[in-house]
């Protein structure tokens, strides 16, 4: 892992733990155990640091989706199981990444330059979801991918912030099965 990737990963952890206000070059230096000024050497501005976090999150999500593609097979039930596994990981071991993503998404509402970066990285991920649905035989996969992403994002947010009633594996699979059925209706 490069020093830039390491710093981006620590920035993600800081965003998850302290929110957008807590993210500074100095905070990242301290959290990474680096000499003061190291983060600003690699990322001169806060925008550059935010962009690095976005790109690093997108890399991780793309890797998750690639693994999902491998595990899903070519039918909807295989896709349900694979999606439930990935979402389950995002709710547990990947929780910080998701919290950081939401922090960045909310900040992007007020910062057009960050919004552009998020949208560009999201385009690739939307294509990956479209391909997954198409390989599972879903007609109009692109249209349904947009809906499925929105539905899953709502479930993920709800469960991450503690508003959802349950987050156990069987419940998650059942929820995803329903979401896929609804999102892929003609």
Exposure letters 85-114 (e unless 16+ CB within 10 A, then b): bbbbbbbeebeebbbbbbbbbebbeeeeeb
Q: Are 42 and 125 in contact (CB under 8 A)?
A: no
Average pLDDT value over all residues in the chain: 90
Q: What is the per-residue pLDDT for 166?
A: 59
Dihedral of CA atoms 133, 123, 161, 63 in degrees, nearest 10, equals 70
State pLDDT tens for residues 52-107: 999 999 999 999 988 888 877 767 788 888 888 899 899 999 999 999 999 999 99
Which of 129 and 26 is assigned the larger pLDDT? 26
pTM, to two decimals: 0.90
Structural domains in the chain, CATH included, are: 53-183 (1.10.357.10)
**What is the rounded end-to-end Cα distance, in angstroms, of the chain?**
44
User: Which residue is it, tokens 């983060």?
Assistant: 39
Distance in angstroms (rounded) separating the CA atoms of residues 79 and 140: 16
Instruction: Output DSSP code: residue 165.
Output: S
Q: Considering Cα of 78, then 178, then 86, then 113, what sign does the dihedral take?
A: positive
């Amino acid at each position: 892992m490069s020093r830039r990737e390491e710093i981006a990963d620590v920035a993600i952890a800081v965003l998850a733990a302290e929110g957008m206000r807590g993210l500074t070059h100095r905070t990242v230096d301290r959290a990474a155990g680096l000499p003061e000024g190291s983060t600003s050497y690699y990322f001169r501005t806060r925008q550059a640091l935010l962009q690095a976090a976005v790109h690093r999150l997108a890399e991780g999500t793309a890797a998750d989706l690639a693994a999902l593609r491998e595990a899903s097979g070519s039918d909807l039930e295989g896709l349900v199981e694979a999606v439930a596994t990935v979402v389950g990981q995002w709710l547990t071991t990947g929780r910080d990444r998701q919290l950081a993503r939401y922090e960045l998404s909310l900040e992007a509402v007020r910062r057009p330059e960050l919004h552009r970066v998020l949208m560009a990285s999201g385009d690739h991920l939307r294509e990956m979801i479209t391909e997954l649905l198409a390989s599972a035989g879903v007609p109009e996969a692109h249209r349904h991918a947009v809906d499925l992403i929105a539905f899953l994002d709502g479930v993920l947010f709800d469960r991450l912030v503690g508003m959802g009633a349950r987050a156990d594996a069987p419940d998650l699979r059942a929820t995803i099965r329903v979401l896929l059925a609804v999102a892929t209706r003609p």
